[in-house]
Amino acid sequence: MDTAILPSTLLLTFLLSVGLFFFVRASTKDRTEVAQLVSEQDEATFMSQLREYFRARSYRVAAVDPEQNQVMFEGNVRPSWFLAVFLTTLSATGILCLSLVLSQLFPNLSSFFIGMVLLSPLSGIFYWKKAGKLEKVSLKVEQTQSESPSSSRITVTAHRDELIELKRVLKLKSGE
């Protein structure tokens, strides 16, 4: 057997393990974005649609600032069972691969290395504890300077996935 194969395999497996660690950590990263969205409806109709949309998504009005023409919504975001199981499975696979390579290098510790797979549920627990949080959405209604008097423009600060869903459901266009 070539003596360079095992150390290089260990190095590549270790680098993949580091990538896996950062992937698990990034699963709970805050992905808040600001977007300007335009609706073809007048402000009153559009605001009632927004209220209904956020009520249906279990958000509640947390604050209203009439001077700034701004509304703040809050809602609890639940973690995803699928993602928790997926991260646990991914971690188990990654730890198993690293354990097999380490077992080849240190055969007398192979049962210890294989036992490290039992640590994989920690990634799902980490995700579950960090992902469930209070999400805030800020809406600021702005006056439009367009030819159409019935259009409305809002600036939304929210999670990236919430912005995508808001645009899809209410058929909004980006107003950048």
**Single pTM value for the model:** 0.69
Tell which phi-psi region holds residue 154, choosing left (phi > 0), alpha (psi between -120 and 50) or beta.
Answer: beta
Where in the chain are the domains?
Answer: 1-30+78-132, 34-77+134-175
Q: What is the mean pLDDT of residues 62-81?
A: 86
Which CA distances in Å does 55 have to 73, 74, 104, 123, 128? 9, 10, 57, 32, 25
Q: What is the pLDDT of residues 3-36, one digit of tens each?
A: 677 788 888 888 888 998 998 998 888 888 898 8
- Say which range, 48-62, 78-92, 119-133, 143-157, has the weakest mean pLDDT: 143-157
